[in-house]
Amino acid sequence: STREKIKIDAIPYYTVLDGGIADIILNQFTKDAAQELKDAFLTMRSENDLKGLIIDLRGNGGGLLNEAVDIVNIFVPKNKLVVYTQGKTPDQNRNYYTKHEADDVDIPLAILVNESSASASEIVSGAIQDFDRGVIIGQRTFGKGLQGISACRCICVTLLRN
């Protein structure tokens, strides 16, 4: 018997609350998570006069780093350094920049986090805060993704072990 691949939607729920506030729950940073979030946001924006957006990352343990960068890029302009990883040797170091024009650089953002928000969730929330695109609301995050946040960008240090 062949096993079926079970696709878990990155976004189980999104809605527009009273007062024109869009609300998107992002469960994990799976392949296509950024596109799913972008589609949900643009759909709500086209049908409503949005005053703000809440991205709920509570309980989101992370996932694919490039999806986190692409989610930041929905709200932050092109060619901004979102995160870098540092390996044992300089040739393992990587910088991750936003690659596209942003879809919306003006909508006020609120990112909800808790102690179970880790890794890619911390990269998104840190970058949104560092680029002055929104506020972070909730409990202290898990602490897996961020080793420090400078005044203008989020720094992610990943130790690569062979």
Collapsed DSSP state (helix, strand, coil) of residue 81: strand
What the block records as the tokens of 112 is 């909800």
- Catalytic residue numbers read 119, 130, 144
Query: Residue 43 has what DSSP assignment?
Result: H
Burial class of 2 by CB neighbour count within 10 A (0 to 12, 13 to 18, 19+): exposed
List Cα–Cα distances, 106 to 51, 81, 102, 132, 139, in angstroms. Answer: 10, 19, 10, 11, 26
What is the C-alpha to C-alpha distance for residues 54 and 37, in angstroms, rounded to an integer?
A: 12
SS3 (DSSP) at 5: coil
